[in-house]
Structure 1
Amino acid sequence: MKNEKCGIDEELEKWLSDAEKVVVAGIGNPIRMDDFVGVKIIRDLRGKVSEKVYLLECETVPESFIQQIISFNPTHVLLIDAAILGLKPGEAKLVKPEELAVSPAYSTHMLPLRVFCEHLSQMISVKIALLLI
Structure 2
Amino acid sequence: MNGVVLTVGNPLMGDDGAGPLLAELLEAEAAVGWTVIDGGATPENVTHVVRRHAPDHVLLVDAAAMGLPPGEIRRIGETQVAAKFMITTHAIPLDIIVASLGETVPEVTFVGIQPARVEFFADMTPAVRAAVERLHRQLREGRDPRDIPPIS
Task: Judge same fold: TM > 0.5, yes or no.
Answer: yes
- Structure 1 residue 103: Cα displacement: 8.2
Is residue 112 from structure 1 mapped to residue 112 from structure 2 by the alignment? Answer: no
- Give the distance between the partners of 1:87 and 1:51, measured in 2 at CA: 30
CA distance in structure 2 between the partners assigned to 1:103 and 1:88 by the alignment: 17
% identical equivalent positions: 27
What corresponds to 1:72 in structure 2? 53
TM-score scaled by length of structure 2: 0.67
> CA 1:44–1:50 in structure 2 vs 1: closer, same or farther (change >3 Å)?
closer
**RMSD of the alignment, in Å?**
2.0
Distance 1:30 1:47, change over 3 A: closer
TM-score for both structures, normalised by structure 1: 0.76
Alignment gaps of 5+ in structure 1: 1-19
Between 1 and 2, higher relative CO (CA 8 Å, sep ≥ 6) is seen in 2
The count of aligned residue pairs is 113
Q: Greater CA deviation, 39-48 or 50-59?
A: 50-59
Q: What's the counterpart of residue 30 of structure 1?
A: 11
| Displaced runs of 4 or more, over 2 A | 47-52, 102-106
2:75–2:110 Cα contact (<8 Å) kept:
yes
Q: Which residue of 2 aligns with 1:12?
A: none
Tell me the equivalent position of 1:21: 2
Structure 2 counterpart of 1:28, which letter? G
